[in-house]
Amino acid sequence: MAMADTNTQGMTVSDEVAIEIKNMNKWYGQFHVLRDIDLTVQRGERIVICGPSGSGKSTLIRCINALEEHQQGSIVVDGVPLSSDLKNIDKIRSEVGMCFQHFNLFPHLTIMENCTLAPIWVRKIPKKEAEETAMHFLEKVKIPEQADKYPGQLSGGQQQRVAIARSLCMRPRIMLFDEPTSALDPEMIKEVLDTMIQLAEEGMTMLCVTHEMGFARQVANRVIFMDAGQIVEQNAPEPFFTDPQNERTKLFLSQIL
Ligand code: ADP
Ligand code: MG
């Protein structure tokens, strides 16, 4: 395992640790869903997590954001230990943006209102400033003209880009993506991936659960393969795809590539 210091695209990875997970275990009742997870993410890293359905990818992502509790081991995000202390959880959630398969936009609010709700009410940012920030990010995801529409009036790809813009409005230092394109029609996948590529190029620390292997090759500096609640293998994209070591990785790749 090498790679934190190198990448194929000349995007920078710093020495600073963004996320440190040590010997983490999680159970759902009796079911041991995550086993002995060790994972250190440097600032600026772009990690793709793949693996079969049910392997624990979503659970891992949700633990990092304290949407799920872990029972053993430690998770430290931006130097803040994820404990049951609500203050810490609030701090971590404000540093970490999350984008899901289903966009979870508020259907009764406009795109602009979706993007300004949390900044105004959680961050206490003045409305005008929050709207300027929202416009900035809506321009970045290339849909400023949709600001006054409602989510139901937008395509799936546009809604997902709004969801990304909405996360960015909270100024996160880390972005977590959980299969952001898997509910989209094929023609909309590219526009969402392009947005994610742009974020990566700007240096965002990203953990992406995705089976978009073209994206992984282009953007990731590290690909992680999970199976049955464990990190089974990880490597830079090129060796990961061309020379997987573990039998389970080989089987998985033979099924999806
Ligand atoms: P993946 O995202 O890799 O498909 P998940 O993290 O969603 O996997 O789920 C891992 C395993 O945990 C699956 O077997 C799933 O059925 C189970 N699981 C997920 N969420 C819950 C829950 N809230 N309660 C009990 N079991 C769950
Ligand atoms: Mg999942």
pLDDT value for 13: 85
The residue contributing the CA closest to ligand 1 atom 1 is 54
pLDDT at residue 99 above 50?
yes
Tokens 């259907």, residue located: 107
Pocket test for ligand 1, best of 27, 30, 49, 58 (most atoms within 8 A of CB): 58
pLDDT value for 86: 82
pLDDT band at 235 (very low <50, low <70, confident <90, very high): very high
Give the mean pLDDT of the chain. 93
Instruction: Kindly provide the ipTM of the predicted complex, given to two decimals.
Output: 0.98
Pocket test for ligand 1, best of 33, 67, 225 (most atoms within 8 A of CB): 33
CB of 30 shorter than 6 A to ligand 1: no
CB of 62 shorter than 6 A to ligand 1: no
Ligand 2 midpoint to CA 155 (Å): 23
Are 68 and 61 in contact by the 8 Å Cβ rule? The answer is no
pLDDT at residue 3 above 50?
no
Q: How far is CA 37 from the centre of its chain?
A: 17
Are 32 and 25 in contact by the 8 Å Cβ rule? The answer is yes
For 86-97, give one letter per residue: b (16+ CB within 10 A) or e. eebbebbbbbbb
Query: With a threshold of 0.90, does the pTM exceed it?
Result: yes
Distance between the two ends of the chain, CA-based, in angstroms?
Answer: 23
CB of 210 shorter than 6 A to ligand 1: no
* CA gap 64, 71 in Å, rounded: 13
Model pLDDT for residues 109-132, shown as the tens digit of each residue: 999 999 999 999 999 999 999 999
pLDDT at residue 1 above 70?
no
Tokens 């299969």, residue located: 179
CB of 234 shorter than 6 A to ligand 1: no
Q: In this structure, how many other beta carbons lie within 10 angstroms of the beta carbon of residue 131?
A: 19
The residue contributing the CA closest to ligand 1 atom 6 is 56
Tokens 């949390």, residue located: 118
CB of 28 shorter than 6 A to ligand 1: yes
The residue contributing the CA closest to ligand 1 atom 23 is 28
* CA gap 48, 69 in Å, rounded: 22
Ligand 1 midpoint to CA 59 (Å): 6
pLDDT value for 10: 64
Pocket test for ligand 1, best of 31, 179, 226, 256 (most atoms within 8 A of CB): 31
CB of 61 shorter than 6 A to ligand 1: no
| Beta-ladder partners of 24 | 37
Rg (CA), the chain: 18
As a whole number, mean pLDDT of residues 146-153 equals 98
pLDDT value for 108: 98
Model pLDDT for residues 33-67, shown as the tens digit of each residue: 999 999 999 999 999 999 999 999 999 999 999 99
Atom of ligand 1 lying closest to residue 62 CA: 6
Q: How many CA atoms lie within 13 A of 253 on its CB side?
A: 22
As a whole number, mean pLDDT of residues 4-27 equals 80
